[in-house]
Chain A
Amino acid sequence: MAGLSIENVTKRFGETEVLKGVSLDIADGEFVSLVGPSGCGKSTLLRIIAGLETQGAGSVRIGGTPVEDQRAADRNLSMVFQSYALYPHLTVGENIAVPLRMRRLNGVQRLPLVGGLMPGTRAVAREIGQHVADAATMLEIGHLLDRKPGQLSGGQRQRVALGRALVRDPAAFLLDEPLSNLDAKLRVQTRAEIAQLHRRLAATFVYVTHDQVEAMTMSDRIAVMMGGRILQCAPPDVVYEDPDRIEVAEFIGSPKINILPLEILPDGRLSLQDRALDLAVVEGARGVASLGLRPEALRLKSGDSPLRGRVVHSENLGSEMFVQIDVADLQERITLRATPEQRGALALGTPVALDFDLHKALIFDADGARIRRLRHLNAAASEVA
């Protein structure tokens, strides 16, 4: 077990710069998820950590030691590939056993027939068999051990790939979207198993995923990657409630955060839809800005409000309800979270007025960076740090 430290890593493929200086410190035993849109360089970063790809600049350390001069096989990491990468000619059991056989048996012992006669081979082989059986039981693929990968479904292959990674005891696990092909039930179950495994082994995990729920539920920290950079790396609740940049706020959270155009008046006060709010910036540029409001920060209001519109769509999920409201002058609809009891007031076409809690408002400047220093003008003027 060891921590990972990535410093200013860059990578370019020909003309395209895929990683533009990525830094990330992962503590020993930590579970970090890498999330980001497709093509942002998550797999590339993972492969650089693994040693399958060389970085343009920057350094990677595993457990404090720089690994630039170590080949992938010597870095003692285990990886699940996005494309599974199972050996097609080996059975499931043999596939899972490969990492153990490669590391615990020498070249002669691995030979067919002759290897079995070498001293010690049998004992090691029995031990390997036990590990394989354990991994297979955990992933519920015990009944598939004698099949070839070509005879498995996508989800089963993914579990075999996972088994091949989990059968060892490496310095860290690198998982590239290991659950993307499982059905919903199995995904929830395997998610719980990986989380449990993480607790049990106290191993370092780097986990690439598209699925926010996975990232939010499993990780100690989430690293949000976009355009070859890590925009923010923080615990799930911080990334959700206190994003550093507008891209992070937009990427994390489902349904998506509402972004409304805002203007910063010359005296620093914020103005939404030509109405001054009781909120002002302390410093910085004036002019255009954005206001981010999570669906749960909004509430229905009777009477006057800068946000007025009509209900155009609603989704009742049983425990909660998401209502889309078309506000005049706004290009995008606003999503509001309501309770199903409020159904009556939210029939399609109903005009509604919305209000929100200023303390939950996220303000971003024209470049998308978060403005954290704000002054509340109403009542006791307080500053939100």
Chain B
Amino acid sequence: MAVIDVSMTDAPRETTVARATQERRAAWALTAPALILMVIVLLAPVIIAGLLSFTNYSLGNSGFDWVGADNYEKLFTRSTYEKMFIATLTYVVTVVPLSVGLGLGAALLINTLGRFREIYKTIYFLPVMATLLAMAIAWEFMLHPSIGMINRTLEATCGTPFEVVPFIANGCADRFPLWLGDKRYAIWVICFIGIWQGFGFNMVLYLAGLTSVHRELYHAAEMDGAKSAWDRFRLVTWPALGPTTVFVVTISCIRAFQVFDTIEAFWPQGGGPNKSTYVMMFAIFEKGIQQNLIGIGSAITMLFLAFVMFLTLIQRWLVERKVHYK
């Protein structure tokens, strides 16, 4: 009652304005903790890294000099970093399409299964759950040039009809590849392990996506004359998986850019034979942590962030424009 009296008689306008200001202040006060936390935890490190990338700072040094774009210039001129870009892009361009394709294929196959579905799902998902570092040790044993399971198996094929394959014939005549020690094979081994490890994850995402495909759409497609599995896939399944695919590809790209554990496990020093597996994450680790060159490490980090940001923006754009069918 009193409130109404005041606002009605005295100065209704002023009261409203005052209340609005007060509400605005309360709103800021309430969001402040979240905002501050976000700035400290998420934004500040990025900004600091961005600033450091223009310096020659090393941890422990009392001061540093601004070096302008020197660090970035090095990134684009030195041959080590050229190798870094080649290794990273080779890895991303190989692992992403193959792990997404295999994930989709496995999901489609498993989706048609009735009884053994859960078993297959678990088996394919096992490498995802296992630590890559531990798995890398197992792979290292298997890939050992002389006592490893892989070369032993290959040697067993010598003298059999398998020798018509040039690769095996060469191996038998000379020797089988050193795998991790050979700069021609090292990056592909890493790619293979990346695919082996990652496609189960994509498969699970696709399986979730497949449950949202409206069953009646397949019936409609059948009535409309889509007879082959390919027609049904094109008309119903693939469009329905659009949002899932965008997500899976983005996640796979980011994971591929982040590859590190296998390389660190196989070649703790140096990034593979002739730096053939010197990927970005490893470069950041080597420069920024092992060699304490914070400036150049920060510059690579910024580049890495730029790639990831770019991918995320593409994803958002695709999701909003293309695949939500609204």
How far apart are the CA atoms of A85 and B218 in the complex, in Å? 9
Does chain B have a CB within 8 A of A79?
A: yes
Q: Chain A: which residue is nearest B322 at the CB level? A: A89
Q: How far is the CB of A240 from chain B (nearest CB, A)?
A: 33
Q: Which residues of chain A come closer than 8 Å to B242, judged between CB atoms? A: 89
Choose from B222, B228, B239, B240 the contact partner of A72 (Cβ within 8 Å).
Answer: B222
Q: Which residues of chain B come closer than 8 Å to A334, judged between CB atoms? A: none
B220-A102 in contact (CB<8A): no
A99-B225 in contact (CB<8A): yes
Interface hits, B198-230 → A, CB 8 Å: 214, 216-217, 219-228, 230
Q: Beyond A148-B326, A150-B325, is A85–B225 a contact (Cβ under 8 Å)?
A: no
How far apart are the CA atoms of A83 and B215 in the complex, in Å? 11
Interface hits, A70-96 → B, CB 8 Å: 71-74, 77-79, 81, 83, 85-90
How far apart are the CA atoms of A74 and B222 in the complex, in Å? 9
How far apart are the CA atoms of A266 and B220 in the complex, in Å? 59
Q: Beyond A72-B219, A81-B219, is A151–B224 a contact (Cβ under 8 Å)?
A: no
Q: Chain B: which residue is nearest A81 at the CB level? A: B216
Does chain B have a CB within 8 A of A50?
A: yes
Choose from A52, A77, A78, A102 the contact partner of B226 (Cβ within 8 Å).
Answer: A102
Interface residues on B, range: 20 to 34
How far apart are the CA atoms of A107 and B236 in the complex, in Å? 16
Does chain A have a CB within 8 A of B182?
A: no
A73-B216 in contact (CB<8A): no
Q: How far is the CB of A331 from chain B (nearest CB, A)?
A: 42
Q: How far is the CB of B107 from chain A (nearest CB, A)?
A: 19
Q: How would you classify the secondary structure of chain B's contact residues: helix, strand, loop or mixed?
A: helix
Q: Chain B: which residue is nearest A83 at the CB level? A: B216
Does chain B have a CB within 8 A of A103?
A: yes
B217-A87 in contact (CB<8A): yes
Interface residues on A, range: 20 to 34
Q: Which residues of chain B come closer than 8 Å to A148, judged between CB atoms? A: 325-326
How far apart are the CA atoms of A359 and B160 in the complex, in Å? 96
How far apart are the CA atoms of A81 and B221 in the complex, in Å? 12
The proximity string for A residues 30-56 relative to B, scoring 1 for CB distances below 8 Å and 0 otherwise, is 000000000000000001001110000
Q: How far is the CB of A54 from chain B (nearest CB, A)?
A: 13
Choose from A52, A73, A74, A98 the contact partner of B235 (Cβ within 8 Å).
Answer: A98
Q: Which residues of chain B come closer than 8 Å to A51, judged between CB atoms? A: 222
The proximity string for A residues 47-71 relative to B, scoring 1 for CB distances below 8 Å and 0 otherwise, is 1001110000000000000000001
Q: Beyond A85-B217, A87-B217, A87-B236, is A71–B222 a contact (Cβ under 8 Å)?
A: yes
Q: Beyond A72-B219, A83-B216, is A89–B325 a contact (Cβ under 8 Å)?
A: yes
Q: Which residues of chain A come closer than 8 Å to B219, judged between CB atoms? A: 47, 50, 52, 72, 81, 85
Q: Which residues of chain B come closer than 8 Å to A151, judged between CB atoms? A: 326
Residues of A within 8 A of B (CB): 47, 50-52, 71-74, 77-79, 81, 83, 85-90, 98-99, 102-103, 107, 148-151, 164
Can you report 14 residue pairs joining A to B where beta carbons are below 8 Å apart?
A: A47-B219, A71-B222, A73-B224, A73-B225, A73-B227, A78-B223, A85-B217, A87-B236, A88-B239, A89-B240, A89-B242, A89-B323, A107-B230, A107-B231
